[in-house]
Amino acid sequence: MSRYPLANVHPEAKIGNNVIIEPFATVQNDVEIGDGSWIGPNAVIMEGARIGKDCKIFPGAVISGIPQDLKFKGEKTTTEIGDRSTIRECVTINRGTVDKYKTVVGTDCLIMAYAHLGHDCLVGNHCILGNTVQLAGHVIIDDFAIFGGACAVQQFSKIGAHAYIGGGSLVRKDVPPFTKAAREPLSYAGINTVGLRRRGYTSEKINEIQEIYRFIFLKGLNNSKAIDLVEKEIGASTERDYILDFVRNSERGIMKGYGGND
């Protein structure tokens, strides 16, 4: 049994079982909310929202607002939020444009207060965006990435899985997987060792990842030469191939290297 006394819920919205919609929240037409989700007071769930099961949308959040893009002409697009994700106070998430037709937040994510996700962003599973993180349009973030508070990410940037972006960073280049990024301009700051250990990576695998990034960031090589040497010196593995494919296919270029210890 779902409950939403005093909320403004469109009669054609699709509301799952055991959903609670608090007073003064608004749910527009063409919205789907999965079983067990909670919509806080004064949250606004706009057309095209697809919210999964057991999600929590806190007061003041605006989900699936139209894109802040002058080319947008009212196309039918969506915002998709995966199961068990939490969207904190006053977060804004814009729906997609004709580029991808959707903006996506994966499962088990935490988007902290006052963050903004622009149109056509694709955020993977188990990601954390700190308070006031600002994503421009078309940003792609892979699983388990973490952003400290007040980061700003330029449009079309890509962030690899398990990356950690230090608070207050300006992200103008792609951030490869498993790395830490900080400083201005954004630079390599080592491997996200703590995060990898928490997720079950062995010391041997972490050492392999570190060695790959020594070639890429710490030996003064261009990317093509670094990739060639890694392929010759380090045996194929899921992690190695993911890193090399990410660097090889980066259209914006990857962040700067750094000569300090990793």
Query: Which one of 119, 126, 138, 162 is the catalytic residue?
Result: 119
> Amino acid identity, residue 193?
T
CB-count exposure of residue 48 (10 Å: 0-12, 13-18, 19+): buried
Q: How far is CA 143 from CA 84, 111, 140, 186, in A?
A: 15, 14, 10, 21
* 119 given a catalytic annotation: yes
Selecting among 120, 142, 143, 174, the annotated active-site residue is 120
At 101, which amino acid appears?
Answer: Y
Pairing state between β 164-165 and 122-123: unpaired
Q: Which of 36, 118, 124, 137 is catalytic?
A: 137
235 is annotated as an active-site residue: no
Strand partners, 159: 141, 175
Q: How far apart are the first and last CA of the chain?
A: 53
Sequence-ordered list of residues with C-beta below 8 angstroms from that of 56, at least 6 positions apart, any chain: 37, 38, 40, 85, 86, 87
Please return the burial class of 19, using the count of CB atoms within 10 Å of its CB with bins 0-12, 13-18 and 19+. Answer: buried
- Can 160 be counted among the known catalytic residues? no
Nearest CA among 182, 177, 147 for reference residue 162: 177
The CA-based angle 226-240-106, given to 5 degrees, is 120
Query: Around 159, how many Cα atoms within 13 Å sit in the side-chain half-sphere?
Result: 35
What are the residue numbers of the active site?
119-120, 137
